[in-house]
Amino acid sequence: MKQRGEARAWTVEILIDETSEETEAEAVLQVDSRRIAGWGRARRNPVDPDVPRIGKELAAARALSDLGHKLLEAAAEGVEAFEGHPVQLHQ
């Protein structure tokens, strides 16, 4: 059986700001001294029903997706620093 190292938890904080027409979210990951943040927005069509939960979920999902892309870019930059040439990492 493969021996595992010490487990670590990373916590993402999602900050949500909403008005009657739009919801914005910021997903923030703090790892050691590095802070990586993603951003997302959801806008309600005026003819759609006012269901704030859906706007929050959509804005948060977009912020998490943006955060994922930025985290992948940061990892690529780390690999490039060791390799000495550009790399492309895929999701």
The total of structural domains in the chain comes to: 1
Per-residue pLDDT of the chain (91 residues; tens, 9 = 90+): 677 888 889 999 999 999 888 999 999 999 989 999 999 999 988 888 888 899 999 999 999 999 999 999 999 988 998 888 888 888 7
Domain contains 1: no
- How much is the pLDDT for 1? 62
Domain contains 69: yes
Domain contains 3: no
d(CA 71, CA 45): 31
Q: Alpha-carbon Rg of the chain, whole angstroms?
A: 17
d(CA 37, CA 27): 5
What CATH number is given to the structural domain containing 20? 3.30.160.240
Order across the sheet with 34-43: list the strands. Answer: 12-18, 22-31, 34-43
Domain contains 91: no
Report yes or no: 38 and 27 within 8 Å, Cβ to Cβ. Answer: yes
Quote the domain boundaries for residue 57: 12-83
Domain contains 38: yes
